[in-house]
Amino acid sequence: MNDMLEGRVVIVTGAGRGLGRAHALAFAAAGAKVVVNDFDPGKDGRPAGESPAEQVVDAIRAAGGEAVVNGDDIADWDGAERLVNTALDGFGRLDVLVNNGGFLRDRMLATMSEEEWDAVIRVHLKGHFAPMRHASTYWRAQAKAGNTVDARVINTSSGAGLLGSIGQGNYAAAKAGIAALTIQAAAEFARYGITVNAIAPAARTRMTVGAGGAMAETMAAPEEGFDAMAPENVSPLVVWLGSAASAHVTGRVFEVEGGKVSLADGWRHGTVIDKGARWDPQELGPVVDELIGGAVPPTPVYGA
């Protein structure tokens, strides 16, 4: 264990398996006290039996760390509030919120059901907003009371949200929304001492292994030596973003895979052609062609 997060209290959602489990263990190894949240939905959202969160907590405690379990649904408003209160009641404070939980309901848009759309948007997008809203209420109150706040939110977007992914329109829309929500929250929360960043990770988890989405086709099996797709490779950046050292970084989205870290460059204003008056529709074909011709081609959608 090291002391990079010594004294800090961290919530990790969806921490029973995969990336969330790796994050929880890494935060504990860095000295943090961890709330291990796991509602334990299966890949299709159905309850899958006993939550594995207790196993993560047991592993943390066996290594000399401190952790507690929370089993609330992160996309339920009251459940998200109880999640935050688990940290406050158990450890007396909250410093870092890692929004990680989610699941897939993959299907092509032309055949996707309303339930498949709603379920994924709910767990990912509302499941990020609701915990962030209740955590920020606590931090805002602390700041208004004159207490120093040095808080962190780390959200989980995806390459699907940044670029799109064939067969995952619901997931891509939710993850794109999370990227935009990250930028929005960073701007609004800065005055309270809260930074908000996001990661777009690539790793082998139960969501990606066997998933129908095109991104899953790029997930390499482990080879001898360095396993580039191990979830544990993503966690060091998440731990650093949760530390005091990252106070100058906010409103950013990082792609991380294996030993690679990059900064995703999002939407920005492009070249402008200004007529100085209202356009006639018949004039705009050449204008659009000129704008597209002078722009950098977009990165292809996964699976396209």
33, 126, 138, 171: the catalytic one is 171
Q: Phi first, then psi: what are they for 242, rounded to 5°? A: -85, -5
Of 256, 252, 249, residue with least CA distance to 265: 252
Check the CA dihedral 247-253-257-262 and report its sign: negative
Give CA–CA dist 290/292, Å, rounded: 6
| Token representation of residue 250 | 């906010």
Residue type present at position 19: L
Paired sense of beta strands 260-263 and 253-257, if any: antiparallel
138: annotated active-site residue: no
Q: Phi first, then psi: what are they for 240, rounded to 5°? A: -60, -40
Give CA–CA dist 294/304, Å, rounded: 23
Neighbours of 144 (CB within 10 A): 10
Give CA–CA dist 277/263, Å, rounded: 38
Find out whether 93 and 87 touch, Cβ atoms under 8 Å: yes
Give CA–CA dist 282/272, Å, rounded: 18
171: annotated active-site residue: yes
Instruction: Tell me how far CA of residue 152 lies from CA of 12, 41, 114, 160, 300, in angstroms.
Output: 12, 26, 34, 24, 32
Type and span of the H or E element at 153: strand 151-156
175, 235, 243, 302: the catalytic one is 175
136, 158, 235, 246: the catalytic one is 158
51: annotated active-site residue: no
Instruction: Tell me how far CA of residue 269 lies from CA of 69, 170, 262, in angstroms.
Output: 44, 26, 21
Q: In the 8-state DSSP scheme, what is residue 64?
A: T
| Catalytic annotation, residues | 158, 171, 175
